[in-house]
Structure 1
C-alpha cells in the first residue's frame, strides 16, 4: 500500500476515535495494535504515554520523537434537573465556534451519548444577541434527555469527557478535513517512521512517544523524557497555515507546501514559555530537506505552545525542535490538512534520523550565530 494511502487511512481511523486529554485509552490501544502489526513492542507509563523504542547505535545521540494522542474538548460540569448538560472547557476551545456543534459524551465504547451544543432559536434572538459570542459557561448540551435521572442512567455524570463528534472526510486536491487532525496526523506519521526505520541499522536509538495531556497542561511528554533522558527531542504537531485571508499577516506557511519547521514559538497567554530550536537541529532539517528536495517551510509565531517547551528543560537540557505539517482552522471541530504534507513530513524524518551520526555535535558553540 502506498505511503499516502496508509497515512490517510490511519489518520482517519485515529480521528474517529475519541480521546480527550486524560482519557486517551482508546487511541493508545489503537496505536499499540498498529505497532504490534509492525512487530514492535510498546508499553505505557503511569501517565498514559505510549512508548516504543527503535534500538540504534549507542554512540549516536539518542532521540525522542513524539506527538500527542489527546484532543481538546470538555468535561461535564453540571446536569440540570431538566436533563440539559453544562460543560467545563478542557484546552483551547474556541467559543465562537461552539454553538450548534454536535458533540459526543464518552461513557464507554458502544455506549457514547451524542448531543448538540444548543444555539438559541434564530427567530427569538434580539439584534444584539445575533452578534454576541456566548461564553462557554453559558452554553449547554441537549442530549435528548428530559431529566437528570435519565442522563445519569445513560452513564453520563459530572466529569464525563466530551469531545467534538468525530468526523473525517477527504476534500479536493488531497485535503483531509475533520476533528483532531491535531495531532492524530502526526501520530500516523510516527507509525510510518517506525515502519521505515525499524530495520535500518545506521541510526540513533529513537524513542517514539505518543504522549498524553498535551491539550491540558503540556506535561504528558515530560514524564517520558524524565525516564528516557534523550539527547534530542523532536516534537511533531501542526503548524499554523497562513494561506487564508484571515491569516496572511501571520506568516508564509501554505497548505500543501510541505512540512514546516518552527523557528520560534511563544504562548504569550497565561504562561511564559515556548521553544527556540537548537541550532544543530535547524541545520539538520535544513540540510536534509535540501538534499531530499523537500520544500521545508518556516514558521515563527506567538499564541501556540507544544510539549517541547517543557521537555527541553529535562535533566541538563534536551536539544529540541518542533517540526510539523500545516493545518487550517486549528482547534475547531473541522480542521484541514493536506495529505501530501504528511507524506513529505514522513519522508523528511526518515531521511533526517539516520543523518544523526556519532559525530553529531550538540555543542552550541559549534553553530555560530
Structure 2
C-alpha cells in the first residue's frame, strides 16, 4: 500500500517519533522525504491519547501509492532512515539541531586539531571519528585495536540536568562549561560502562583550574560510550569521557551551547599538551 515499516537501530525514543519528518537515504541527490505517521487526533480514542506506540506499530508515509512506487523511488529493505536534518539558532550561543550527538564533538575535534597543529611539544595524537557507535560501538573498537593507544579521551555529550524533568540526575548545566564523567553504566542489556583512570581525572581537574576554565562533573546510568570497550583493548587503555552538556538527547532536536564547545576545545588542547614522558599511568601513584 506504499506505507513503509522500519526496524530500530540504536537508542531511538519511541515517544519522540510520531509526526516527525524523516529522510530515506537513497543516495546523493536522491533522498526521499517521509513522515512518521500519527493517527488522526479526531479518531483517537481517550485510552489511546497517552499511549506511546512501540516502534513496530509505527510506519512511514512518503506519499507513495503502492509498494511498486516505493521501490521505484530507490527504497527497499535495508534503506537507512534518519531524522530530517534541522538546525535552529536559539537565544545567545544556544543551538538545537539534528544529531548534535555527536556532530558537536566532531566539530570540537577538528578545532583541537587546528590548535595542536605546529605545537612544539605534545604526545602522539590520533584523532578518531568512529562509526556505528549506536550499533555496539564497533568503529571505535576497531580503531583502538589498530592504534593500540595508551590513553583514550572520548568526546561526547554529557547529560544536562537543568530542566525540570532531569533535576534528580545530577548537577550539569547548559552553558556551565565542559564536563567530565566520573561514572557511566548502561544498565539496559549491555552491562558495561566506564570509571575513568585517576591520572586522567587529575589531568583534567588541574588543567581546568590552571586555565581558569569551568569543569562540571557527571555520574549517570543509562548511557554508554566508546571507552566502555576501548578500555579493554590489549593490556588495557587508560580512558576518560569528557564532553559538553546536552538537552533532549536522541530526539530529533538536541540542544547545546556553543560556548561550552569552545571551552571544551580549549580544555582538551591544554590537557593534551600537558601529557609528556613523565606522565604516570601507574595506579599506585593515585592510592587514596
TM superposition score normalised by structure 2: 0.99
Alignment pair present for 1:352 and 2:271? yes
Deviations 1:83-120 (A, max 9, x none): 00001010000000000000000000110000000000
Instruction: Please state which structure has a larger fraction of its residues in strand.
Output: 1
SS in 1 for 2:121: coil
For the 8 Å contact 1:219–1:310, the answer to whether it is kept is: no
Root mean square deviation of aligned Cα: 0.5
SS in 2 for 1:264: strand
> 5 Å matches for 1:14-53?
none
- Equivalent of 1:123, from 42, 52, 64? 42
* Whole-angstrom distance in 1 between the partners of 2:97 and 2:114: 25
- Equivalent of 1:307, from 220, 226, 233? 226
* Whole-angstrom distance in 1 between the partners of 2:9 and 2:261: 27
Aligned residue for 2:113? Answer: 194
Deviations 1:45-84 (A, max 9, x none): xxxxxxxxxxxxxxxxxxxxxxxxxxxxxxxxxxxxx100
Structure 2 unpaired stretches of 5+: none
How far did 1:210 drift? Answer: 0.2
SS in 1 for 2:184: strand
How far did 1:173 drift? Answer: 2.1
Aligned residue for 1:12? Answer: none
* Whole-angstrom distance in 2 between the partners of 1:308 and 1:319: 9
Aligned residue for 1:152? Answer: 71
* Whole-angstrom distance in 2 between the partners of 1:271 and 1:148: 37
How far did 1:368 drift? Answer: 1.4
Deviations 1:27-47 (A, max 9, x none): xxxxxxxxxxxxxxxxxxxxx
* Whole-angstrom distance in 2 between the partners of 1:258 and 1:142: 41
SS in 1 for 2:52: coil
> 5 Å matches for 1:156-175?
156-175=75-94
SS in 2 for 1:186: helix
* Whole-angstrom distance in 2 between the partners of 1:281 and 1:150: 55
How far did 1:247 drift? Answer: 0.2
SS in 2 for 1:89: coil
How far did 1:129 drift? Answer: 0.6
- Equivalent of 1:274, from 172, 175, 193? 193
> 5 Å matches for 1:251-266?
251-266=170-185
* Whole-angstrom distance in 1 between the partners of 2:268 and 2:239: 14
Aligned residues: 288
- Equivalent of 2:31, from 83, 95, 112? 112
Runs ≥4 residues deviating over 2 A = none
TM superposition score normalised by structure 1: 0.78
* Whole-angstrom distance in 1 between the partners of 2:111 and 2:31: 30
* Whole-angstrom distance in 2 between the partners of 1:333 and 1:313: 32
SS in 2 for 1:347: helix
Structure 1 unpaired stretches of 5+: 1-81
> 5 Å matches for 1:217-256?
217-256=136-175
Aligned residue for 1:33? Answer: none
* Whole-angstrom distance in 2 between the partners of 1:121 and 1:223: 46
Deviations 1:283-305 (A, max 9, x none): 00000000001100000000000
Aligned residue for 2:255? Answer: 336
* Whole-angstrom distance in 1 between the partners of 2:138 and 2:9: 14
For the 8 Å contact 1:218–1:307, the answer to whether it is kept is: yes
* Whole-angstrom distance in 1 between the partners of 2:168 and 2:52: 24
